[in-house]
Structure formats: C-alpha cells, structure tokens
C-alpha cells in the first residue's frame, strides 16, 4: 500500500508549497471579458411575472507574503475603491461537498469506474472523517448560515485529506486493469507517463501543468508506470494545495484597481459556484483556448451551467440555508410522550418526517426553477410536493410521485411558502413557537435588523395560571410592562408569530387550540386569536389576521427580494456582504422585483464584473 508520510503531506499543504501554487497562477495573454450586467437572452425574464392556478396570489413589486496581500484585500470595505470588482481574499479551501464532488468527478474521468467514484463520499466522510463545514451566519451565531462562509483550515481537515489521498490513489491503481485504464493505450513509455501526469494534473489543479510541474510529478513516479508509482503521483496531487485551495491572482493589466480573472480561474469559479465541482470538458476547453474571456462565450457557458441538472443541488442548498430549513427539529422527538401523543391525535410522525418536510420545500424550489418561475412564485406556490404519506397526511393531499404535476393544497389556509410544514413545524413540544416563527420571517426572509435577546429575568413572575393559549402565555412572558423584552416582542416579533397560530406545532391547519396536561388529559379548549398589527421597516403598521395577509405584506414590502439579493451575494462570494456590495445587491433586487426567473437571477451575478474580476492591492 502507498504510504505518504504525514510530514510529507504537510510539506505539500503548508506555506512552501503554497508559494509554488501562488507563483504558478495567472499570466497568459488572455483578454478580459467585457463587463455585463444582463442575463443571457434565453434566460431573460418575461415582461410580466405571470400567474397560474398554482400561483394565484398577485404581488406588488416593491500567511506568506502572497497570502497576506490577499488577506489585506479581503478586509477592504471602500465602495469607491472597489470600482466594480471584489477582493480576492485569502486562498479559500473547497467545502467538504465540493471536495467530495470534485474527487468523485475526477475519479470517474480518470478511471471510468462509477463504483470507484461512488466510494469517494463514504471515504471522505466516514473513513477519513473529514469534518462537515460549519454553517456560518455573519449576522448571528444563533442561526445557521452557509457552508461557503466557513474559511477554517484545521489539522483535522488536513489529516482527513491525507487519508483520502492515500486511500483513493491506492484504490485507483489497485490492479493491472485500473493502471491500464489510467494510462490508456500507450505501452508504459516516458511519453505515456508524461501524458498521464498532464491529464491528471489538468483535472486536479483545474488548469494545465507547467513544464516544471510535469517534470516534478514524473520525477515523483521515478519514471515508472507501475501501480505504486502512479498512486504516488495521484496521492501527491490530491494532497496538494493546488487542488484543495482556490487561489485567484488574476492576469493581464489591471483596470484601475480591478484585475480580470484568468480563463482557468474563471472556469473554476463558475463550476464551483454553479455545480460545486471542477469544470467539465466543455468549460475546460473554453478556458484552455482562452475563449471563455470573450463576453459572448461566457454568456453561453453561464446559460449552459445554470440549465444543467447539476445546478439544481447548489440552488437548493442556497434556499435551504437562506430559509434556515436545517433549524427544523425532529418531528418524532416527542413520540411516546403522553401529552404529545394526545396532541398528535392518532398521527405519528416518523424519523424521516423532518427531512421529508425540508425536501418538500426544496422540491418546490426545483419545480419552480425548472419552469422558469420567479422568486415571488417561491413564496406563493400552492402545490404540495409531499413524497411520503406521513407528510401528505399533514397537508391532506395525495402523495406526489415526483414526476407528474404536483397536487394543489386543498386547504385555503395554505397560501404558499410561509404555510409549509418545513417552515412552521417543530418537534420540541405540542405547542407552537410563535417567537421562532416571527424571527424566521423577520430575520431570515426579510432581513430585518433585530437586537440580540435581552438577558432580563424580571418576567419570571409572569402569571401563567389557568388554561391559556400559546399566544396568551407568550404575551404574558414577553410583553410584561416594564421589562426589556416588551419593546421588540410586542411591536415586532410576536405579531409575525401570532398571525400563524392557525397552524399547530406539526404544521396542521387548526381552528381552535386544545390545551393538555402532562398526562395527556384535555384541560380545555380556547378560540384562536390571530389578529395582529404588524410592520416591516419602511412601511406603516398593518392590521392582519391570516397567513395570506401576512404573506401579501411580505410580497408588497420588497424586503423579500432585497433579502434574497443580500444572501445570494454572500453565497456567491463566500463572505459577508458590505457597503461595497450595495450596487450589486440593489441590481439583483430590482431584477428580482421585476419578476425575473430564478435562472436569470443566478446567471446575472456570474456575468457581472464583480464575478469576473478581483480587486488588486499593491504590496
């Protein structure tokens, strides 16, 4: 078995090799593409957002020296200085998802063995124990965010990468048949080895190898084409920072303080953004001949990438993280508890119900995007995408087969995104969590600024005696006069939770609230009070009493589109947004507010100068 010592792996991964990596990037005689702030014609939005039976609700638009240079650039927050481009930042690592997908795709291309490629994910996650990325939320550590914002590089990750590289390289060269597949039809000559090194290096490093690099890896193989020799080459490439890190230096003459990405840097940025993997053959070819830097070719490639089925996964993950769907707790966590079982009234959530509820929301995203739907249609779509009977029971709809047109919600109270189980349910108790629901609307979906929770215990004396509804208990605790809680809760948070009290803790429509004791006996029933006066910044307070009215206010406010724009900038560039992003965010907001289809919104960012250029900082 191939052995790559830990010290050798560190030598590959740490600063000395990083200097080689940085010095080998960029260059070339490629011309920069012209900046474009429009989507490809075939992705352009319709002149009006259009409505359908499924979307009947109308809306109103409303380290080393090199690394230090990049780190300095990442801290600049001067909108005037950016001149339309973005700081490159320190070399960023692949996310675990990108690492798995890239290794899987490269393994398949080199070995033509689908089983070998399918084994990459369990190798990385279960054998090598590569830790999952942290979902970083720059606004609050209390809520999940985006894995792309996790910039940590730990010894655990380096150790897992070393294990992955050695194990996978050994598997890829385990017998004569696999070695022959790697080498092709040549007969083990020096030219054969060189061709293998060039092919593998092009895939792992996302750009052609230099002559010096080819000689380096040929030397690592000792000039041999045996299984162990090829395994050493593969393992060294996989453990190299040129594979695991993404470094962007740009090329050519700077335009003010902006420098165009090289064709290979741009190809890698496109494929990692839209597909979470390395460039495919078509994108790699456009990078190799430099044509990707032409505006027309870039436009065609972006249109192809966003329409490819591989773009669906990153698209779903963006909305999953923006809407904080991962915060949904297990819905079967209280099964067997007398109080919960009485509340569930014969319904028994399964261990997979929670994931099914999240998947249902994301299936809606995929469905709307595939049909060139708009951002607003994600909010107003009234189709059920429940693929399992346990979730379909909560919706009172037929099970969706995943292929035919999804059924419509039969209950008029179900008006779209805000009334889906994945947005409303929780498994912690038999009662709703109106504060949690209100914060989701305000913080996650409309990007309202909320102060941190106050550490005020003076409301501990709140009178909770008698048979009270969830709303009454919440009001008595958080709206007690004289406490520090009342200001935010009474006028901001609570109304956006109370208006959804027509849905219970499992997300089922209800007309009254039944109150149980711990033994499951009914203590009493109370009528629901969903009437509130709610507001969003920039708009006067509005009286409302239904989820439909709440959703309409979100639509009319324009905050949903603005919040999307802010979060998509974060997702795209893997960092928090700042004042320098104001024009980009506003441009995306306007396009979204006009009813642009989702694919067009995704494509827009990749065609702008902020995506194709980086900010340069003089040493």
| 417 and 551 belong to one structural domain | yes
Q: Of 510, 537, 557, which residue sits at a domain end?
A: 557
68 bridge partner residues:
none
356 shares a domain with 481: yes
pLDDT at residue 85, rounded to an integer:
65
Structural domain includes residue 24: no
Residue owning tokens 């209950």 = 411
Calculate what percentage of the chain has a pLDDT beyond 90.
73
237 and 135 co-located in one domain: yes
Q: How confident is the model at residue 68 (pLDDT cuts 50, 70, 90)?
A: very low
Which whole-number Å values give the CA distances from 561 to 328, 378, 460, in the listed order? 23, 11, 39
Residue 77 has pLDDT above 90, yes or no: no
pLDDT band for position 298 (50/70/90)? Answer: very high
pLDDT tens-digit map of 511-545:
999 999 999 999 999 999 999 999 999 999 999 99
Closest C-alpha to 384, from 394, 374, 376 = 394
Quote the tokens at residue 463.
């009178």
Q: CA end-to-end span of the chain, whole Å?
A: 45
Mean pLDDT of the chain: 85
52 three-state secondary structure:
strand
C-alpha 594/C-alpha 601 separation (Å) is: 11
What are 391-408's pLDDT values in tens digits?
A: 999 999 999 999 999 999
* CA angle in degrees (0–180, nearest 5) for 334-468-481: 115
Q: Give the pLDDT band of residue 256 (cuts 50, 70, 90).
A: confident
219 shares a domain with 109: yes
Task: Tell me if 533 is assigned to some domain.
Answer: yes
- Among 20-34, 122-136, 362-376, the minimum mean pLDDT is found in 20-34
Q: What does the pLDDT read at residue 79?
A: 36
Same domain, 358 and 488: yes
Contact 489/462 with Cβ under 8 angstroms?
A: no
Residue 256, token pair as written in the block: 């003010």
Query: Is residue 494 situated within a structural domain?
Result: yes
Q: What is the DSSP string of 493-521?
A: IHHHHHTTTTB-TTS-B-SEEEEE-TTS-
Residue 602 and residue 597: Cα distance in Å, rounded? 9
Looking at the structure, tell me whether residues 503 and 362 fall in a common domain. yes
User: Both 539 and 449 in a single domain?
Assistant: yes
pLDDT tens track for 409-426: 999 999 999 999 999 998
Top-confidence residue, 619 or 449 = 449
pLDDT, tens digit (0-9, with 9 covering 90-100), for 557-580? 999 999 999 999 999 999 999 888
Range with lowest mean pLDDT among 246-250, 459-463, 615-619: 615-619
602-615 pLDDT tens trace: 999 999 999 999 88
- Is the domain of 517 the same as that of 387? yes
Residue 441 tokens, joined: 């609307």
Distance in angstroms (rounded) separating the CA atoms of residues 107 and 120 = 8
Q: Where are the alpha helices (DSSP H) in 59-154?
A: 65-75, 79-82, 96-111, 114-118, 120-122
150 falls within a domain: yes
pTM, two decimal places: 0.86
Query: What's the structural domain count of the chain?
Result: 2
Do the domain assignments include residue 287? no
Is residue 71 situated within a structural domain? Answer: no
256-278 burial: b if 16+ Cβ within 10 Å, else e: ebbbbbbbbbbbbbbbbbbbbbb
Domain end position, chosen among 204, 226, 246: 246
In this structure, the answer to whether residues 359 and 478 fall within a common structural domain is yes
Tell me if 133 is assigned to some domain: yes
- Residue 175's φ and ψ, nearest 5 degrees, are -150, 175
231 shares its domain with 366: no
- For the segment 174-187, the average pLDDT, to the nearest whole number, is 91
Q: Identify whether residues 340 and 237 lie together within a single domain.
A: no
Q: Which SS3 state, helix, strand or coil, does residue 143 take? A: coil
User: What's the pLDDT score for residue 458?
Assistant: 65
How many angstroms separate the CA atoms of 424 and 418, rounded? 7
**Per residue in 93-126, pLDDT tens?**
999 999 999 999 999 999 999 999 999 999 999 9
Q: Which position has the higher pLDDT, 332 or 21?
A: 332
By residue count, the chain amounts to: 619
- On whether both 469 and 374 belong to a single domain, the answer is yes
User: Token pair for residue 292?
Assistant: 């990707």
Report the alpha-carbon distance of residue 91 to residue 86 in Å, rounded.
Answer: 14
CA 492 to the chain's CA centroid: 28
pLDDT at 142: 86
Domain of residue 423 covers 314-454+465-557
* Integer Cα distance of 396 and 166 in angstroms: 52
Helix (H) or strand (E) holding 134: none
For 411, counting Cβ atoms within 10 Å of its Cβ (0-12 exposed, 13-18 middle, 19+ buried), the class is middle
121, part of any domain? yes
| Structure-token pair, residue 414 | 């179900």
- 322's tokens: 């923006």
Distance between CA atoms of residues 93 and 98, nearest Å: 9
Give the range among 50-64, 202-216, 252-266, 495-509 with minimum mean pLDDT. 50-64
End residue of a domain, out of 246, 272, 288: 246
| Bridge partner residues of 86 (DSSP) | 614
């Amino acid at each position: 078995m191939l052995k790559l010592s830990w010290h050798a792996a560190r030598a590959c991964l740490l600063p000395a090799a990083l200097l080689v990596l940085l010095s080998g990037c960029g260059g070339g005689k490629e011309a920069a593409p012209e900046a474009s702030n429009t989507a490809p014609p075939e992705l352009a939005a319709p002149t009006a957002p259009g409505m359908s039976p499924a979307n009947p609700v109308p809306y109103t638009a409303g380290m080393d020296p090199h690394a230090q240079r990049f780190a300095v650039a990442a801290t600049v927050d001067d909108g005037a200085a950016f001149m339309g481009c973005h700081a490159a930042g320190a070399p960023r690592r692949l996310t675990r998802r990108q690492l798995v997908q890239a290794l899987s795709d490269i393994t398949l291309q080199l070995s033509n063995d689908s089983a070998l490629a399918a084994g990459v994910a369990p190798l990385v996650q279960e054998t090598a124990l590569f830790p999952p990325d942290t979902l970083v939320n720059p606004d609050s550590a209390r809520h999940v965010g985006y894995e792309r914002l996790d910039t940590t590089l730990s010894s655990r990750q380096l150790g897992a990468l070393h294990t992955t590289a050695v194990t996978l390289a050994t598997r890829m060269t385990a017998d004569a048949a696999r070695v022959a597949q790697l080498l092709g039809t040549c007969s083990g000559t020096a030219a054969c080895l060189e061709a293998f090194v060039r092919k593998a290096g092009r895939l792992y490093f996302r750009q052609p190898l230099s002559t010096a690099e080819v000689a380096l890896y040929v030397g690592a193989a000792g000039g041999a084409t045996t299984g162990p020799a090829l395994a050493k080459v593969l393992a060294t490439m996989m453990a190299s920072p040129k594979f695991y890190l993404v470094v962007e230096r740009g090329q050519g003459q700077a335009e003010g303080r902006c420098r165009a990405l090289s064709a290979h840097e741009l190809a890698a940025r496109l494929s990692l953004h839209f597909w979470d993997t390395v460039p495919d053959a078509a994108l790699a070819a456009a990078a190799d001949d430099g044509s990707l830097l032409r505006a027309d070719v870039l436009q065609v490639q972006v249109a192809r990438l966003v329409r490819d089925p591989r773009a669906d996964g990153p698209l779903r993950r963006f909305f999953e993280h923006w809407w904080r769907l991962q915060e949904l707790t297990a819905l079967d966590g209280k099964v067997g508890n007398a109080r919960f079982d009485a509340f569930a009234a014969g319904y028994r959530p399964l261990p997979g119900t929670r994931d099914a509820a999240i998947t249902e929301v994301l299936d809606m995203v995929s469905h709307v995007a595939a049909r060139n739907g708009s951002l607003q249609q994600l909010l107003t779509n009234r189709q059920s995408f429940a693929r399992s009977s346990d979730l379909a029971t909560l919706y009172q709809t037929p099970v969706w087969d995943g292929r035919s047109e999804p059924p419509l919600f039969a209950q008029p109270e179900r008006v779209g995104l805000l009334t889906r189980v994945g947005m409303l349910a929780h498994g912690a108790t038999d009662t709703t969590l109106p504060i949690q629901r209100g914060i989701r609307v305000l913080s996650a979906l409309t990007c309202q600024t909320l102060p941190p929770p106050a550490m005020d215990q003076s409301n501990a004396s709140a009178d909770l005696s008698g048979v009270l509804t969830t709303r009454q208990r919440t009001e008595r605790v958080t709206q007690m006069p004289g406490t520090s809680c009342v200001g935010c809760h009474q006028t901001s948070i609570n109304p956006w939770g109370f208006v959804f009290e027509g849905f219970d803790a499992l997300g089922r429509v209800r007309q009254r609230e039944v109150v149980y004791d711990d033994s499951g006996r009914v203590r009493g029933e109370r009528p629901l009070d969903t009437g509130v006066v709610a507001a969003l910044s920039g708009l006067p307070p509005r009286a409302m009493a239904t989820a439909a009215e709440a959703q309409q206010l979100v639509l009319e406010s324009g905050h949903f589109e603005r919040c999307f724009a802010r979060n998509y900038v974060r997702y795209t560039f893997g960092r928090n947004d700042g004042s320098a992003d104001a024009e980009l965010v506003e441009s995306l907001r306007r396009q979204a507010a006009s009813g642009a289809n989702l694919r067009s919104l995704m494509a827009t960012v990749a065609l702008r100068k902020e995506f194709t250029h980086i900010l340069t900082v003089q040493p």
